[in-house]
């Protein structure tokens, strides 16, 4: 008796389960991020942005199609692990889309694999310009170092700054930033008074700041890893009091580090692609921030990585919605290379079909102290910036 009951139950269960299993076509999407290790917060930003998009936009997929996101941790930067994990996702899971790689070396190691496996590969962070040339299957939705430093160099020169000191972290992205800013600033008549390449693990910036102060430049352009220490030293050494303007790319003032930096950041000008900490945010940004706060709590603020994570998933969803679940890689790539959106938190962005790199506005913000709260105020917008490196170094 009991056995028959169980059998009936089992059959009923199968009947219930069967339609949903057979009707849903599953599109597998792979994601390789640094989810542990010293840079876990970066991977987490992208991961959360993507998860939030998936949760809120299920109805964008065609009926009977669902997405399975396969998340892997390479504790990056770790190109060896990144490549192996992607190889496994290609062979074992047969993913159709790939997103991720926080760091350039991770993406560079995956690039030949994406080419060989014909796997559309969306970059939500890695920002070395040449990456998109390493595989025709790479599409970038984040930014490049040049995309921020170059227009900021031109902007600063246009605003009347004559001399600049450059401070960068002594590794490839820092060197890129230095070259981009120098070319643009000098090209518009500015002069570079000095360059400091600072080893990545330095946390005491006092001697460096003294050197800059002695050189008396109009401004400092800074791209550094230990931002909190550097900004505090900038104030403590009296550079701010001496009227030396501090500028940098957007991530010089990370929103999640602002409580630690405090008023030392007052007056600092950054040129970035996104900040959650804006006096007058756009309607898209307000909607994004509201969804984020509902999901992750009011205290948790997204960085630009949450936005690029969201946008990378938006690309994949819209590709599946347009082309269906069984599209050929070439068709997917064609679609992604011509992708445009104005619904994301950044406003209007598009992919340049020639280079598969992103075209977006660089927003110039000044950090202000508004009733004891540090907030970014938008002071200028440089619209439709393409990656300058690719224009200067044609293929």
Partner 1 sequence: MNSSLKASIIDAHQRRDRLHPYEVLPWLTAALIFFLFPQFLNLGAHVLVTIIFVLSMDLLIGYAGIVTLGHAAFYGAGAYAAGILCVSAGINEPFTGLAVGTIVGGVVGILSGLMILRTRGLALLILSLALLLLLQEAANQASAWTGGADGLSGMSMAPLFGKYRFGLDGKVIYLYSLGVLFVCWLFLRMLLATPFGRSVVGIRENAVRMAAIGANVRRRELAIFTIAAAMAGLAGALAAQIDQFVSLNMLSFELSGMVLVILALGGVSRLYGAFLGTPVFFIAQDYLSKDNPVYWNFWLGLLLVAIVLFARGGVLGILARGFGRMRLQPAASSALSQARS
DSSP element (H, E) containing 66: strand 65-73
Near partner 1 by CB under 8 A, which window of 81-89, 203-211, 282-290, 370-378?
81-89
Near partner 1 by CB under 8 A, which window of 73-81, 138-146, 307-315, 340-348?
73-81
Q: Point out which residues pair with 350 in neighbouring strands.
A: 340, 359
Question: Measured from the CB of residue 354, what is the shortest distance to partner 1 in angstroms?
Answer: 22
Among residues 50, 54, 98, 108, the one that binds partner 1 under rule CB under 8 A: 108
Q: State the binding string over 124-163 for partner 1 (x if CB under 8 A, else -).
A: ----x-----x-----------------------------
Contact status, residue 127 vs residue 104, Cβ threshold 8 Å: yes
Question: Measured from the CB of residue 358, what is the shortest distance to partner 1 in angstroms?
Answer: 19
For residue 131, what is the DSSP state?
A: G
380 sits near partner 1 (criterion: CB under 8 A): no
Report d(CA 284, CA 208) in Å as an integer: 41
Contact status, residue 377 vs residue 137, Cβ threshold 8 Å: no
- Binders of partner 1 among 190-219, rule CB under 8 A? 199
Question: Measured from the CB of residue 143, what is the shortest distance to partner 1 in angstroms?
Answer: 16
41 sits near partner 1 (criterion: CB under 8 A): no
Report d(CA 309, CA 384) in Å as an integer: 21
Report d(CA 239, CA 351) in Å as an integer: 40
Which structure tokens are listed for 58?
């299920």
Sign of the Cα torsion 216, 217, 219, 223 reads negative
Contact status, residue 95 vs residue 29, Cβ threshold 8 Å: yes
**Pick 170 or 368: Cβ nearer partner 1:** 170
- Binders of partner 1 among 109-128, rule CB under 8 A? 109, 111-113, 116-117, 128
- Give the interface with partner 1 as residue ranges (CB under 8 A): 33, 35-36, 40, 44, 71-73, 77-80, 83-84, 87-88, 90-92, 104-105, 108-109, 111-113, 116-117, 128, 134, 170-173, 175, 199
């Amino acid at each position: 008796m009991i056995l028959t009951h169980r059998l009936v139950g089992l059959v009923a269960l199968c009947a219930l389960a069967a339609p949903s299993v057979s009707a849903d076509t599953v599109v597998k999407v792979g994601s390789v991020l640094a989810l542990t290790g010293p840079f876990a917060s970066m991977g987490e930003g992208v991961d959360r942005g993507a998860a939030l998009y998936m949760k809120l936009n299920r109805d964008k997929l065609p009926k009977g199609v669902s997405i399975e996101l396969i998340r892997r941790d390479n504790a990056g930067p770790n190109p060896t692990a990144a490549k192996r994990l992607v190889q496994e996702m290609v062979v074992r899971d047969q993913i159709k889309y790939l997103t991720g790689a926080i760091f350039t070396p991770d993406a560079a190691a995956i690039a030949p694999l994406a080419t060989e496996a014909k796997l559309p590969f969306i970059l939500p962070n890695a920002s070395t310009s040449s990456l998109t040339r390493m595989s025709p299957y790479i599409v970038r939705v984040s930014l490049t170092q040049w995309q921020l430093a170059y227009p900021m160099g031109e902007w600063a020169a246009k605003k009347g700054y004559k001399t600049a000191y450059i401070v960068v972290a002594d590794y490839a992205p820092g060197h890129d930033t230095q070259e981009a800013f120098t070319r643009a600033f000098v090209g518009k008549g500015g002069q570079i008074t000095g360059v400091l390449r600072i080893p990545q693990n330095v946390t005491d910036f006092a001697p460096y700041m003294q050197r800059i102060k002695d050189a008396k430049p109009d401004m400092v352009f800074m791209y550094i890893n230990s931002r909190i220490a550097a900004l505090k030293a900038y104030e403590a050494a009296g550079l701010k009091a001496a009227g030396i303007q501090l500028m940098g790319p957007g991530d010089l003032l990370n929103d999640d580090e602002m409580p630690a930096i405090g008023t030392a950041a007052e007056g600092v000008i950054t040129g970035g692609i996104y900040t959650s900490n804006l006096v007058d945010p756009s309607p898209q940004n307000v909607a994004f921030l509201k969804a984020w706060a509902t999901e992750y709590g009011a205290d948790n603020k997204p960085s630009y990585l949450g936005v690029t994570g969201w946008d990378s998933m938006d690309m994949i969803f819209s590709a599946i919605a347009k082309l269906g679940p069984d599209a050929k890689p070439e068709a997917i790539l064609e679609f992604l290379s011509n992708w445009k959106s104005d619904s994301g938190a950044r406003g209007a962005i598009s992919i340049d079909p020639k280079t598969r790199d992103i075209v977006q506005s660089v927003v110039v913000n000044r950090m202000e102290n508004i009733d004891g709260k540090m907030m970014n105020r938008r002071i200028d917008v440089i619209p439709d910036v393409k990656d300058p490196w690719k224009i200067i170094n044609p293929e």
